[in-house]
Amino acid sequence: MAQTATLPTVGQELPEFVRDTGFQHWNRYAAVNDEFIDIHMDDDAGKAAGYPTAFGMGNLTWAYLHLALHEWFGEEARISHAEVQYRSAVTRGTQLHIKGIVTAVRPGEVDVDVWAENSEGTRLAPGSATVHLAGS
Amino acid sequence: MAQTATLPTVGQELPEFVRDTGFQHWNRYAAVNDEFIDIHMDDDAGKAAGYPTAFGMGNLTWAYLHLALHEWFGEEARISHAEVQYRSAVTRGTQLHIKGIVTAVRPGEVDVDVWAENSEGTRLAPGSATVHLAGS
Amino acid sequence: MSEETYISDEMRAIVGKPFNEAVSFPVSRSDIRRWAIAVYYPEVPPRLYWDEDYAKASVYGGIVAPEDFNPFAWASASPGMTTRRAGFNADYLETTFGIQGPGLKTNLNAGSVTDYGSRMRPGDVISTSAHVLSYTEKSGRMGRMLITIIRTTWTNQSGEMVKQTNQTAIRY
Amino acid sequence: MSEETYISDEMRAIVGKPFNEAVSFPVSRSDIRRWAIAVYYPEVPPRLYWDEDYAKASVYGGIVAPEDFNPFAWASASPGMTTRRAGFNADYLETTFGIQGPGLKTNLNAGSVTDYGSRMRPGDVISTSAHVLSYTEKSGRMGRMLITIIRTTWTNQSGEMVKQTNQTAIRY
């Protein structure tokens, strides 16, 4: 996996990482995390809970934030801290855009804001992370 | 698991084995068999294929026939041959009744008809099997 | 032989030729345990499939997999990791051989006939090979139908037959 | 302190007390491989998660699990196999302690804060323990809400911290 060729700088925007969403994604995640919950696999259950469709797992958004961090900083980068708030449901068909911006740079280590937003630019899950860069 | 206390006899009806069906069952089966196919996890896809809902995997009905055979003849019984025809889809909410009847008895071995039917008594998946009885 | 047929000369030529050859990753206890949980859901699966102490005392002398367990699910050691296919191609079989299929819309799994040999166990490495046993045609409710029987054989690392399945697909 | 509260004396008494203690089955290569396939879908996952030769040459010296991998999925060695829970109980936490919960209808996973330590690897046996860090209340759009923070710590067989998570649940 590619690593940033140059050192990150504060304010740097990281390339967005995009994922479609739906039962193909959610049921594979349920498969490995044993998260077989009706609201995640049945539109009727999603509607009963007040949403227009079934919706994705917060834990899967969490996974995507980690994928993006490795996409940006390489597979040998070490994520030492990560946090997220789940603000809005990822309903069926939402395209997730995982975006990031560097907020601090220390020797061998960066802080980033990392979040998932929909195609309308609404932040569904804001978060942040600290990453130790590989080889440092 | 209980084994039949007495030797099976030709014509003997075996106790039915019942399973509800739906996404809880199908998505767990998809999880282990990597069978993430839209017609099995999305009512819209089932409808597009001409069915009233999503429907279950033939392979899962196959699994249930095997479960029933071990329920009847014990977990140490050896299934040497099994066959099935998938005649009708197992749509969402169908209750499956796995039934069996002994068709032949040889020393240490039985042939059975084993099938899945719905609550209306329609055979959705007729099959048969040869089972070597444990300890023989 | 009728003039109209779905079965081309190219298709006749692949009958008996191996395809879908694969070697599994070693079967793990976790794979067997999860398989059993899934097919027994909502019941607790028998200990034979997840409790080594229990299984040791059984005639099997250790954990075995359910007969219908699939060691090729998710990924196989050979061929290696591939992207997931999106959608379904009813001509999948012919496409595998690089020939043109009949281009029919619907492909149904009509059933299977299976002989079982050795049970699969944790650590087993299973090899598989398939071939087309026959292409035939038949007229039914849906008009002319193409019936394909595919024979798949699984063998364990000791060369023992694990299972042999004739699977029937109906296309129309 | 307001007269009206969701937080009973019984609930206050469980703060800090361990629950959900569990020991995983050994992490298998298959579990890691499937996890990676699932979260990277539809892309092919990085070789680090499934190709031992590749992983050996990396700084990790072998296959590691993704940070967010869950070794307790499906079943754990201790407590053993249980039946699957059907439906969802918003008072799950209090029920675990045998006390009465607030009986609220909705329970949302509001987010988490995680520190990571040692990476998980094939063969690892992970232990977990959780406790309630705090119960607080807040007024919001949905009226009075109960906010529960649960801290969960995972430790590997060498006693190294694998991760520590503070997870926030909102009930109303």
In a domain, B54, yes or no: yes
Cα–Cα distance for residue pair A92/A46, rounded to 1 Å: 10
- Residues of chain B contacting residue C35, judged by C-beta atoms under 8 Å apart: 32
Whether B41 sits inside 8 A of A36 (CB atoms) is no
Average pLDDT, chain B: 94
Cα–Cα distance for residue pair D25/D47, rounded to 1 Å: 24
In a domain, A31, yes or no: yes
Q: Residue B66, SS3?
A: helix
- Report residue C147 as tokens: 């019936």
Average pLDDT, chain D: 94
In a domain, A2, yes or no: no
What CATH number has the domain spanning D1-27+89-172? 3.10.129.10
Which pLDDT score, from 0 to 100, does residue D87 have? 63
Cα–Cα distance for residue pair D82/D90, rounded to 1 Å: 19
In a domain, A7, yes or no: no
CATH number, domain containing residue B94: 3.10.129.10
- Residues of chain C contacting residue B61, judged by C-beta atoms under 8 Å apart: none
Confidence of residue C1 (pLDDT cuts 50, 70, 90): very low
Confidence of residue B1 (pLDDT cuts 50, 70, 90): very low
For residue A27, give its domain range.
13-132
Whether C75 sits inside 8 A of D33 (CB atoms) is yes
Q: In Å, how far is C47's CA from the nearest CA of chain D?
A: 9
Establish if C100 touches chain D: CB-CB under 8 angstroms: no
For B53, name the nearest residue in chain A, comparing CA atoms only. A42
Q: In Å, how far is C139's CA from the nearest CA of chain B?
A: 17
- Residues of chain A contacting residue D115, judged by C-beta atoms under 8 Å apart: 80-81
Cα–Cα distance for residue pair D98/D79, rounded to 1 Å: 17
Cα–Cα distance for residue pair D62/B71, rounded to 1 Å: 43
How far, in Å, are A8, A10, A83, A129, D168 from residue A113 at the CA level?
13, 11, 10, 7, 19
Dihedral class, residue C77 (left if φ above 0, else alpha if ψ from -120 to 50, else beta): alpha
Q: Per-residue b/e over D33-64, b at no fewer than 16 CB within 10 Å? A: bbbbbbbbbeebbbbbbbbeeebeebeeeebb
Establish if C43 touches chain D: CB-CB under 8 angstroms: yes
Per-residue model confidence as pLDDT tens digits over D110-146: 999 999 999 999 999 999 999 999 999 999 887 899 9
Whether B85 sits inside 8 A of C111 (CB atoms) is yes
Which of A90-94, C72-76, C106-110, D71-75 shows the lowest mean pLDDT across its residues?
C106-110
Q: Which of A23, A32, A35, A38 to mutate to test the interface with B (most CBs of B within 10 A)?
A: A23
Q: Per-residue b/e over D136-161, b at no fewer than 16 CB within 10 Å? A: eeeeeeeebbbbbbbbbbbbbeeeee
Over residues B119-136, mean pLDDT: 94
What's the domain count of chain A?
Answer: 1
Q: Do the Cβ atoms of C139 and C133 come closer than 8 Å?
A: no
Q: In Å, how far is D145's CA from the nearest CA of chain A?
A: 15
Whether D35 sits inside 8 A of A32 (CB atoms) is yes
- Residue intervals of chain C classified under CATH 3.10.129.10 are 1-27+89-172
Whether the pLDDT of residue C39 is over 60: the answer is yes
Cα–Cα distance for residue pair D10/A127, rounded to 1 Å: 34
Which pLDDT score, from 0 to 100, does residue C85 have? 61
- Report the interhelical angle of B23-33 vs A23-33 (nearest 10°): 80
Complex ipTM: 0.94
In a domain, B3, yes or no: no
Cα–Cα distance for residue pair B135/B4, rounded to 1 Å: 12
Q: In Å, how far is C118's CA from the nearest CA of chain B?
A: 10
Per-residue model confidence as pLDDT tens digits over A27-62: 999 999 999 999 999 999 999 999 999 999 999 999
Which residue carries 């392979």 as its tokens?
A: B59
Backbone angles phi, psi at A30, to 5 degrees: -55, -40
In a domain, B6, yes or no: no
Q: Which chains touch C (3 or more CB pairs under 8 A)?
A: B, D
In a domain, A5, yes or no: no
- Report residue A60 as tokens: 């899967």
From C37, C70, C116, residue closest to B33, measured CB to CB:
C70
Dihedral class, residue D143 (left if φ above 0, else alpha if ψ from -120 to 50, else beta): left
Establish if D43 touches chain C: CB-CB under 8 angstroms: yes
Q: Where are the alpha helices (DSSP H) in D44-172?
A: 52-56, 92-96
Q: How many CB atoms lie within 10 A of CB C170?
A: 19
For A20, name the nearest residue in chain D, comparing CA atoms only. D42
Confidence of residue A7 (pLDDT cuts 50, 70, 90): confident
Whether C111 sits inside 8 A of B134 (CB atoms) is no
Average pLDDT, chain C: 94
pLDDT tens, chain D, 172 aa long: 445 899 999 999 999 999 999 999 999 999 999 999 999 999 999 999 999 999 999 999 999 999 999 999 999 999 988 766 656 788 999 999 999 999 998 888 999 999 999 999 999 999 999 999 999 999 988 789 999 999 999 999 999 999 999 999 999 9
Q: Which of B63, B72, B58 is nearest to B12 (CA)?
A: B72
From D28, D37, D81, residue closest to C30, measured CB to CB:
D28
- Residues of chain A contacting residue D34, judged by C-beta atoms under 8 Å apart: 31-32
- Residues of chain A contacting residue B30, judged by C-beta atoms under 8 Å apart: 27, 31
- Residues of chain B contacting residue C88, judged by C-beta atoms under 8 Å apart: 37
- Residues of chain C contacting residue B34, judged by C-beta atoms under 8 Å apart: 70, 73-74
Which pLDDT score, from 0 to 100, does residue C162 have? 98
- Report residue A87 as tokens: 């603000």
Whether the pLDDT of residue C148 is over 70: the answer is yes
Whether B27 sits inside 8 A of A42 (CB atoms) is no
Cα–Cα distance for residue pair C136/C102, rounded to 1 Å: 13
In a domain, B43, yes or no: yes
Q: Per-residue b/e over D120-130, b at no fewer than 16 CB within 10 Å? A: bbbebebbbeb
Cα–Cα distance for residue pair D141/D121, rounded to 1 Å: 44
From C39, C66, C74, residue closest to B29, measured CB to CB:
C39
The letter for the amino acid at C103 is: G
